[in-house]
Amino acid sequence: MTIIDRYILRKFLGTYFLMLGIIMLMAVVFDASEKTQDFAEMTATWHEIVVDYYLNFIVYYGNLFSGLFIFLAVLLFTSRLAHRSEFIAMLSSGVSFPRILRPYLIGATLLCALSLVVNHLVLPAANKVRLAFEEAHIRAVFFVDDRNLHREISPGVIAYCERYGAKEQTLYRFSLEQWVDGGLVRKLHAERAEYDSTRGSWHLVEYSARILRPDGEDLLRGTALDTVIPLKPTDLGQRWETAMAMSTPELSTYIAAKRAQGDGKVASYLIEKHQRTSYPFAAFVFTLIGVSVASRKVRGGTGLHLALGVLLVLVYVFAMKITTVGATNAGLSPLLAVWTPNVLFGLIGLWIYRNAPK
């Protein structure tokens, strides 16, 4: 690499990591100030607070906002180069704009590769520790209520409930059917099924059991029955954030298992899986837009570039939110949802690049 390449790359990465450190330090200070009373009342040690919570807090939020930090870093130092007429000097000396762009793309490649490693290898383990700390000391495990749930808990065995009460871990109007060769052979019904977490069993209230045979059927009724069913509350509904604590192979296995159970609500898990790859590649989009916008020397300098940059980031985040909501609630493909903003803003970046001063 030439002197100019090393100069630009050093400025790019230096500004990025400086902004990352400053903003994460501010985030930790603000978060700690809000949770001071919680920390005083909880039983967690200072080692657990600092290492288990805040170290993984920095990993999670630093990676989450890495695209914004990349964009702002490129805008800040490139705008200063343009304000000091360094861009004009490079272009006047015969260096083409695509050649100036090369160290930026090298920096974006390094940060993209770092983000991919963090997303797929480091972050799931960090989130597992952070979420475990939150559930143990800050908030209770949160489950989602749901209605009309069907689960195939084993081949030919289908569980159904009209409503699942997450807080009390209770299934209302619960039924369990066993099918063999396309025919129903056994059906268990209960007005209410309560989960006993200590035993790992279910307590059925007002139950009836039908056993169907070729020559007739048997019918059993009762007011209460304790039984073991290969079904846990976590199979019915849980914090979707638990997906962030799974490695990519574990997440793929979990999605396959949910689909095998007949659970069609896997869009949020698919979004999490695909975002681990798509979001790091936004580094190239943000870098291209940032260089193309900030390389133009305009009246207002860095302030105008920052205002325009923040506006573009907000539009990007808004577009990402729209597409993910569409994937969750409107049947849009999760893969398409997470890549559409990158493609759309990539095209915008190419248009801005073509109109940048050369």
Model pLDDT for residues 14-39, shown as the tens digit of each residue: 999 999 999 999 999 998 888 887 77
CA dihedral 91, 92, 96, 97 (to 10 degrees): 20
Amino acid making up residue 200: G
State the average pLDDT for the chain.
Answer: 82
Give the phi and the psi of residue 146 in degrees, each rounded to 5. -155, 170
Are 10 and 126 within one domain? yes
Q: Rounded to whole angstroms, how far apart are CA atoms 204 and 198? A: 16
**306, 75 Cβ separation under 8 angstroms:** yes
- Domain limits for position 199: 146-235
For the cut 80, the answer to whether the pLDDT of residue 57 exceeds it is: yes
Specify which residues 212 forms β-bridges with: 217
More confident residue, 97 or 190: 190
CB neighbours of residue 340 within 10 Å: 20
What is the mean predicted confidence (pLDDT) over 92-100? Answer: 82
**121 and 171 both lie in a single domain:** no
Task: Identify the domain boundary among 179, 211, 235.
Answer: 235
126 lies in a domain?
yes
What are the pLDDT digits (tens) for 205-243?
Answer: 898 988 888 777 888 888 888 888 887 776 665 555 677
Asked if residue 308 is part of any domain, the answer here is no
Regarding whether 156 and 107 lie in a shared domain, the answer is no
Q: Does residue 355 sit within a domain? A: no
Q: What whole-number distance in Å separates Cα of residue 118 and Cα of residue 112?
A: 10
Residue in the block written with tokens 């073991």: 228
Q: Is residue 290 part of a domain?
A: no
Residue 339 has pLDDT above 80, yes or no: yes
Cβ neighbour number for residue 293 with a 10 Å cutoff:
24
Do residue 161 and residue 191 come from a single domain?
Answer: yes
pLDDT at 358: 59
Are residue 132 and residue 227 in the same domain, yes or no?
no
Phi-psi domain of 300 (left: phi exceeds 0; alpha: psi -120 through 50; beta: other): left
Q: Which amino acid makes up residue 173?
A: R
- Mark whether 133 and 215 lie in a shared domain: no
Residue 319 scores a pLDDT above 90: no
322 is a domain residue: no
Lowest mean pLDDT among 46-50, 51-55, 87-91, 297-301: 297-301
Torsion of CA 309, 312, 317, 323, to 10 degrees: -160
Are 13 and 106 in the same domain? yes
- Check whether residue 134 and residue 212 sit in a common domain: no
Asked, for residue 319, whether it belongs to a domain, the answer is no
Among 48, 94, 109, 112, which Cα is nearest to 280's?
112
Mean pLDDT of 257-282: 82
Domain count, the chain: 2
Q: Measured in whole angstroms, how far is the alpha carbon of residue 137 from the centre of its chain? A: 22
The reply to whether 13 and 130 lie within a common domain is yes
For the question of whether the overall pTM of this predicted structure is more than 0.75, the answer is no
Non-local (6+) Cβ contacts of 253 within 8 A are: none
| Mean local confidence (pLDDT), 256-272 | 77
**Domain-located, residue 98:** yes
Shared domain for 221 and 275, answered yes or no, is no
The pLDDT of residue 357 is 61
In a domain, 9, yes or no: yes
197 and 59 within one domain:
no
- 10 with 79, same domain: the answer is yes
